[in-house]
Structure 1
Amino acid sequence: MPLQLDSCLRHEHAYVIREQIIKDYGFGANVTEEEQTPEQKAEATSAHTTLRNSLLPDNTQSARFTTTHGPDLKQASGTVYVGSHDGEEARILWFQLDGRMYPSVYTLWRTADFVPLLHTPEIVVKKLQGGADLMTPGLAGGPPFPERAKKGAVVAVASIERPSVPVAVGWCEIDVSALDKVQGSKGHAVRNMHWAGDEAWSYGASGKAGKPAPEEIDGWAQVLSSRGLVDQTEALDLDEQEEEGGGVPIEDDAQASSSAKTGKGYNEAVDGEDAPTTAETDAQEMTQKEIDDAFRNAFLYGVHRHKSSNSSAPNFGLVFPLSQSFVMSNLIQPFLPAFTPEQAQQLQIKKTTWKNIKKFIKSLDKEKVLKSKEKDGHETVILDIDFEDRAVLDFKPYRLPKKETMSGASQGRGEKATDQIDTGDESVGQKLHVASYFRPTSKLQPLFSNASKQLFTPPEVRELVTSYIESENLVQENNKRLVKLDPTLANAVFDGSGSLDKEVLAKGSVPRDALIDRVLHAMANSYAIVRNGADPSSTKVKSGAPPKVHITLETRSGNKTVTKVSGLEAYFVNPKLLADELRKVCAGSTSVEPLAGAAKKNEKPIEEVMVQGPQKDAVVKALERRGVDKRWVEVMDKTKGKKR
């Protein structure tokens, strides 16, 4: 229902709420004040202030709401707290119901590890996003489960496919941490209170849809990694869950085989939902060997393509070391034989015996196909590939699916996977021109009374002002460069506020060029971005100064740098196609998401491209290929705190 927001929370009220949240969720409870040195106390005070503002920003507003809650749809009232961070669109960050504060997914995406994080298969997540509760058979990734997931505790839920991204919030109806098995169990585990996709997620002052969930959240990923849960969640698939009790109860071997093919049993993983029908899941299952062989052959195909298409280049065009993301996106995914969405679903690295790309690379190292090395303790990079290995020399290319048959940004590119980065991108090679226009204000209107239009280019302004000067005989007789001021020019152009104005008014004359510059300065700006020599008169003119393409470098998770690019649409650049090119050029992962608060209501959302690493030069080069001049680009390096 619509919310009527109050003004920003009073300082005293906001302070009480923040402190209550910090107390309820146990932030900073490890070290007592007596144990701290003065320096530690000062640092803790600063961190505490930062934490309070992160949880509940100063711009937070509140609103009361009434809704129905629980299985009996009992009426309940509460309060939502709406705020924004770093210029993003205001979203619901917390909600209070029955005297208890619950974080929204937006708060969970920003602040990690203040609630226990439970996991469940993606198919169960879809049911949760329909309002269902999480049943005990739907729990995955344990036992053991997080120690804090006790009865009554607020918890977050993520899918095992994206284990670091919470997508639902609820509270434990049982002591989940005490479970020693979930196989054969029944009953509710988590009462679902809020999820990505509900009305709280959707709410925004501008009326735009809620922000999509990210692909990965560094803070939560580090938490999972420190607890040894990353490989555990990545290794989970439906077959293993059936064996280990991760989500589908099994009565005997015959039923287990049936459940694996039909999805039977998921009706017990969520409350009140039917299991998928046989027709929905009746796809040809690939054997474990077929999946493994597909990934190994895809890698060899990627190496083969580089050898055949870059025969004269050093290392056949490969620049070592090769990162895990580069290997996956450039040497494996484009060469997987996935001809249908069902096959693409099965051909995922987590469904191989290696479970992740790191172990896959290490397996090839053991075969002596390549040399690899651990980097930064969490990534394995390829230092060299033996292009003369028998596996590479004896490889025979196979038929690949066409790009349009795939459900993915990089799969199925076949022979063009390494030949052309920008296939289908119409912005590559385009010619752009920014045309500036000026509209006279009411004061300046007498200078343009003979004109038949309201928008003028700078040369047209000069011509019309010159015509007015000559028609009114304002050229000074002894100096043709000077113009005598009449009441119209004096009132419309020089208001007397500055020292130059006072000097001009005192003299009663002004140089012609200075006058024209002041007229232009006093007019309202408009612009049009003209593409490929089109007729400027047929191009839509917009008010204001021409927009900039913004390139922002930021530090995330301590020392990881990312590069963000926005404002591309005005220059006819498709963000998704640019992201696709940057992913290959920079050998790093990319994402495209709507830029919060950037578009007005009823306008198309402005999208932001993010690429891993400090990639300013690569982005600028990619923009130049699309006709975007450096003059129209603004770079902000937040990693150094200065603007370039």
Structure 2
Amino acid sequence: MFKKPATNVKSWLLSNSDRRKLRDELIKRFPELATYETKQGEQNISILPDRIHRANITTYNDLHGMLYIEEKNPTWFRFDKDKREILVPSVYILWRFPNMLPKIPTFGPVISKLKGGANLMIPGIAFPPEGLPDVGEGEIVSVTIRGYTYPLAVGIMCVPTNTLKPGSVKKGIAVQIIHIHQDHLWSMGDKSQPPEDEEIKIDSVTQDQELEEIADDTIEESSETSDLHAKTKTNVQAYDEEQGIEGSYEEESEIKNSEIEKSTSKYTTAEVDNLLQASFYQALLKKLTPSGTLPLTSSQLYSAYILPSRPVGTDNDVDVKKSSYKKITKFLKAMEKKGAIKLKEQRGDTLLVGVKWDHEELKLFKTHKTIEKASTSAAKSQIQNDDISSDSNNIDQIKIIEVYMPKGAIGELFQMQEKRIDEVYEYKEISKIILDYVTSHDLADKKNRRFVIPDAQLCKIFESKKGEPVPDKMTRNDLIYHVQSRMEEYHSVTLPGDKHRLKKGRPKSIQISEARRMGNKVVTIIKGLEEYEIDPKDLIEPLKKLCASSVAVLQSPNSSPKKPLSELMVQGPQTKQVKEYLVSSIGFPEKYIEIIKLKSKDKSGGKKG
């Protein structure tokens, strides 16, 4: 309703008689307000000040309404200038009288979606232990984060609360949002923040991991209707019929998701469910153990424990999004129903707080070789690309992975995260370890979660011999980059026949160059083949046919008796053909083929005479 600024705002001071009428109307409509004056009268708390202004407004979608303003803050509003229409409180009033409306709790990440113009859906309700308040369809309610006192939005209840139960699969709009903290109605006031805003981190829930835990069907974009208080339908199907929409948003999303899964996964949904459960049990038995640190958030458990525990060769296909659960929280709740674990809800997050180690399925579970154990990174890469290798003309691909080994202060940080310091890690693994460290040590900047405030351990990593100061804060990407750049460089090479090599330093490229020789002839030279155990002599006949030219093996100028090296020389400008052959027939990664333009060896520039 207030996605954009209102216009035609003209205000005047309310007369004493109109003020008394307004107060009587408020007391009659919201009886809870009278208790504030009665119980706390000694503090001179009044629901209306002596001076209050009234203003006519027009919203951006041409809806005419009326505002009541105290000093700078809009406190009450109604539309269509209908004096019989009920008044709606703003968040400024709700923060002053937090219990004047029934509260519908939701999860922290959902609030950020509601601020984008969405309605609160039934799956987005965070049912409190005491249950929901008794509210009928069409009544005004406030919306807040579960466990937090102060409302953050106000709206109309679209379905009676006595029909809503925890764990229900019922869908549809729960609350049609009218006004929310940080919309343009709020901006018309002094822009003050809700009490304890910093403590509950209302606006700080921006990490992709946390948002992924909230189901897509917890919210739905609100419709722009000219009649705000038209009777709201009680389910998505009726709502869509009213708007002339065939089929619901949720049904369409589920159909599209299922079609994508069928086309991209080599496992059925049931098989993914079983593999996900096996990965979960493996993580409990081998990575968590009874002495492991609890509680763990669902995102930490999934990214740092379950995903690395997937069976070898399944990592691209075993994903909670491809399972019947769709979300990690739903999967964990299913495991809790089996009695294997104990969960706890805390401010919109699901925490693993206990494991039943004597559970029958855990005792009978047979462990497997995991993705994590299969690596030193090169082995992991081989597994991840098995399908690509088999589809590329049955050619064994040569795989090169840049990896890094922790040292010094970085090694200490890795050990704090229970990681080995005598192993190598890919960039994405380093990223996950660093972000887990930031999360577990609460290093995110409270004002802007994109930034990290280095603690003593991170400062130790960034200390310079030149005494350069450590930045007060840095972005997450910069933090990961700087940590990785201070690690020892290695690269793993997987050769045909599953031969794995781990070498220190950055990987060397195969160099292809063209040069002019005597008589202005052009030749193409290939160097660096032997670095990857490619015998130059094996390429003579294939390149002769491909390039329709003569090919010769020459001793490299950089060769030595202890380490003889060769290079291939192909007559003519054959760079494109040679590169294509190395990629498609040899299986060498294009990324590590370097094209070099060399100067002519003929000092006369190839001129005769």
Category of TM-score, reference length = shorter chain: 0.3 to 0.5
- State the TM-score, normalized to the length of structure 2: 0.37
Max radius of gyration: which structure?
2
- State the TM-score, normalized to the length of structure 1: 0.35
